[in-house]
Amino acid sequence: MKIKLLILALLGAGFASAQNNTNSPYSSRGYGEIEPFVSVFSRSLGGATNGIRTNRTIAFGNPASVAGLTQVSFDFAFRGDYSEIYNSGARKNGYNGNFNYFSLGFPVFRKPVIKADTSKVNKQSIYKEYKTIWSSAIGMTPFSNVNSSYYKIQDTSYGQIGNYFLKSGGLNRVYFMNGVNITQNFSVGLNSSFIFGQIRSNEAFYIQDSGITRATFSDLNSQLTGFRFDLGFQGVRNGFITRTTTQKGTDSGLVRVKTSVPLRFVYGATFSNAGSLNYNVYHLVQNKSNYYAFGPIDTIVNESNIKGKSYLPSAFSAGFSFTFNNKWMIAADYSSELWASMKKSLLVSDSFANSSQVSIGLAYRPDINIDQMNLTRPGGQRRYNANLEYRLGLRMNNTGYLFKDNAGVVSPLKEYGVSFGIGIPKLRDDWDGKKVLVKSLLNITGEYIHRGTTDNGMIAQNLYRLTIGFTISDIWFKQKKFF
């Protein structure tokens, strides 16, 4: 019951927040600042997602990863930002934060498999395990964030004209993800996303004289809805390498011992269609006094229900992860969105270049799935404090959003980011007491992101971001057996 109430509370918070998860002048282009479709875990790895596959969480960016779930997983996160926007002569700081995402993943169909228990010396017994065939996930996350404003004064023959501009809002994504294991080592997945939200632009023009002149105010409110689909696949290859070490034997001599070191290679790719968004626009332009509150008002434009279509570009990404000895993992991704080929519309008339991003991550943890931890320490003392997971990440991003500097040079906005993350697991015994399972996992990720440059009158931004996520996983609807 508590889980259901928590889900409803987070869902309500997500829908209620016309959230401003950004404070950036660069969000004035297109649909705003596009939100990476990744979890807290992937953020700490620089955004690498295609090669991430565990039995308790999903990698949002590749829908095939949901097929790896063997238990129910509830994942949610919150985010806070500290931003520094600056150029050669000024600096502005700001804070913002909000709910980031939630996800509920669960196996839909599992196939029973009969196995033999060879751990007993005198006799063997058989037992039943369940192999996941089909899993699903539902959730919600921002798709884009908009929060940009500026004020400038321009000298003209009529005097000084002031211009105030504010753009806010953003789009949300509600998704339904399905993954199927075609073979033991290969899975495919489909993510169906419903995208909705609104973007609002307010603009004012007035002459800077005695303050009693008339001013022009423009209010443009755009509501958008549409669908987008992502198709992904993942493959897994497991293997071993044999290492020979020299150890001291029982007779004080040296013996050579061979040990097997497990290896795991996961690869994957995702393709997104070039979708469309239906929009409904309300536009109001009025000329009224900038001084008298009850002065006459001239309505210049009053239009509503202006309907049409805007567009989303196609996209693709590919990546891998390699795990050595269940302790070290390296992951890498490359992704691109084909903004240059996107059709223009009434809402999005900007010019773009294709975006590209390279993500690299490194993780150290005792077990990538933290499933079979040692129950005892030397001396028989029980151990419940699992080793922490440590993660590092780097990403370099060419956003594809084009800006012109004071020298007339048009170039895409570039950014890079570094991240550090830590995972703190909460463990418990299973019913048989044979192994330790993860009951929950606290993920904390810190990021430093730099955008833009101050060359030729441009604006740069430093962003310090903290994301805190919680993963609660368990086996639901399991019947206890008594012998």
Of residues 388, 384, 383, the one with CA closest to residue 367: 388
pLDDT at residue 373, as a whole number: 46
Of residues 337, 284, 283, 285, the one with CA closest to residue 311: 337
Average pLDDT, the chain: 82
Cα 258 from Cα 249, distance rounded (Å): 14
Cα 108 from Cα 180, distance rounded (Å): 10
Tokens of 138: 């539902």
Q: Cα Rg for the chain, rounded, in angstroms? A: 27
Contact 166, 202 (CB under 8 A): yes
pLDDT at residue 457, as a whole number: 81
Cα 106 from Cα 3, distance rounded (Å): 14
Mind listing the pLDDT tens digit of every residue in the chain (483 residues)?
Answer: 444 444 444 444 444 444 567 778 888 888 888 999 999 999 999 999 999 998 878 889 999 999 999 888 899 999 999 999 988 888 888 888 888 999 999 999 888 777 666 655 555 666 667 788 899 999 999 999 998 887 777 777 666 777 888 888 999 999 999 999 999 899 999 999 999 999 998 888 877 665 556 788 889 999 999 999 999 999 999 998 887 777 666 666 667 777 788 899 999 999 999 989 999 999 999 887 766 666 678 888 888 888 999 999 999 999 999 999 888 999 999 999 999 888 877 777 778 889 999 999 999 976 545 444 444 444 444 454 556 889 999 999 998 888 888 888 888 889 999 999 998 887 665 545 555 555 678 899 999 999 988 888 888 999 999 999 998 877 655 544 443
Cα 101 from Cα 10, distance rounded (Å): 9
276-320 per-position pLDDT tens digit: 999 999 999 988 776 666 667 888 888 888 899 999 999 999 999
DSSP sequence for 213-240:
SEEEEEEEEEEEEEEEEEEEEEEEEEEE
Helix (H) or strand (E) holding 199: strand 186-207
260-274 per-position pLDDT tens digit: 888 999 999 999 999
Global pTM reads 0.83
pLDDT at residue 455, as a whole number: 86
Cα 251 from Cα 279, distance rounded (Å): 81
Domain ranges of the chain: 2-474
Contact 196, 275 (CB under 8 A): no
Contact 438, 427 (CB under 8 A): yes
Contact 63, 177 (CB under 8 A): yes
Helix (H) or strand (E) holding 328: strand 328-337
Q: Which residue has the tokens 């993800």?
A: 177
Assigned CATH for 2-474: 2.40.160.60
pLDDT at residue 1, as a whole number: 41
In 325-455 the beta strands, taken as DSSP E runs, fall at 328-337, 355-364, 389-404, 410-429, 436-452
